Amino acid sequence: MFVALCITLFYIVFVWFVFFKAQWLKFNIAWGIVSFWVGAHLLLIFLVALRFFQPMSIDSHVVRSTIQIVPRLSQPTLLKEVLVTPNQPVKKGEPLYKFDDTVFSQQLASAKAQLVAAEQNAKILEQDVIAAGEAVERAKAQLSYAQTQQARYQNLVPQGGARQEELDRWNEQVVEDTAAVHEADANLAKANLAQQSQIDGVNTGVAQARAQLAEAQYFMDNTTIHAPEDGMIVSQQARPGLVVGEIRLGAIASFVTDDNPYILASYRQQNLKFVEPGQPVEVALDLYPGEILTGEVEAIWWATRQGQYLPSGRLPGFVLPKAPGHIAVQIKVDVPEGHTFPAGGHAAVAIYTGKGQSFEFLRRINIRLYSFANFIRPLDI
């Protein structure tokens, strides 16, 4: 900075001495143009130093996260109440909108009844296993009795102690009781399979009923929309009588959050040569003329739309001249208590890279002039 000032001052004194003090040359239009041209190039020292070491952007805006409020309901539903006042802060969890819950409350009651029925059916399956097991024992006992009688008559008939018809009847009874045992075993296996139909130790019917109950409870809970974070609804367009359905392409409101606001400043690419996260910044917010806020560089967004191509069947085309895209710098600002930091608020941002510190006072003067000029700019009443 000192060298640049010395060179500029020496040049001014040199021009004054040559043309006006010693009058070695006669000052005319031609010499005036040459002198101005050389002097203007000397002033480029300050321009280059400021734009690289203390870059400034007047294309900067406050950014706040927004959450799109989209109702999640399974069928067309009527909006009954709007519980939020626009532009008024609300806390996380406070109700915003309430929809008609008549159908959903009935679905919830039906799901609860189905769960109770499924739990009872699970208990019935346990009893079915016990009953099937007893049926198997009973069938085996009958088979055993029939086999005993069959053996008895097989000994009596050859000796003339009983008739052949009695033996034939017990032979048929053994076959019938054997089939009954097989049928009882099959019923027991079916009962065991029905009881063992489980997911993580829970009967599948009960698990399905619980899932249906959870779904019904989910849609019931969604009949009231709550604030997802601390923030506010800025533009309130939803009114009672609005009907939202199973599919909705757009949100009914945008919720502006209070969490982690920042400024996004746009810079020419060459201005960011020495910019790094953590460097100090000064911010002149248009909302507060004459004030300078402090902060630091939080991140540099090393990407622009010009560097993105979406998959398609068309080849890229290049047309010149094409202006180079700017790079965005994310700025974290120390907002004083009681100050408003509105989403979309405009500001000027100066970054101090720590290089060429002797030029910093010029940028500090520059951004303060911008801030005080906001008292009268724009010139309208």
* pLDDT for the residue numbered 348: 96
**Which ranges constitute the DSSP H helices of 245-307?**
none
> Where are the strands (E) in 64-205, listed by range?
66-69, 77-82, 95-99, 198-199, 202-203
Q: What is the pLDDT of the chain when averaged over all its residues?
A: 83
Distances (CA, A) of 167 to 18, 151, 174, 175, 267: 150, 9, 11, 13, 109
Question: Is residue 5 predicted with pLDDT exceeding 50?
Answer: no
Give residue-wise pLDDT tens across range 191-244.
787 777 778 888 888 889 999 999 999 999 999 999 999 999 988 888 898 888
Nearest Cα neighbor of 58 from 271, 246, 219 is 271
* pLDDT for the residue numbered 333: 94
* pLDDT for the residue numbered 4: 45
259 vs 294, higher pLDDT: 294
Contact 94/226 with Cβ under 8 angstroms?
Answer: yes
Burial (CB count within 10 angstroms: exposed 0-12, middle 13-18, buried 19+), residue 3: exposed
Nearest Cα neighbor of 91 from 266, 251, 226 is 226
Contact 331/297 with Cβ under 8 angstroms?
Answer: yes
Q: What is the three-class DSSP state of 165?
A: helix
Residue 37's CB is within 10 A of a number of other CB atoms, namely 9
Contact 86/234 with Cβ under 8 angstroms?
Answer: yes
Give residue-wise pLDDT tens across range 286-328.
999 999 999 999 999 998 888 888 888 888 777 776 777 899 9
Contact 212/114 with Cβ under 8 angstroms?
Answer: yes
Give residue-wise pLDDT tens across range 83-122.
998 889 999 999 999 999 999 999 999 999 999 998 888 8
* pLDDT for the residue numbered 204: 83
pTM > 0.85 = no
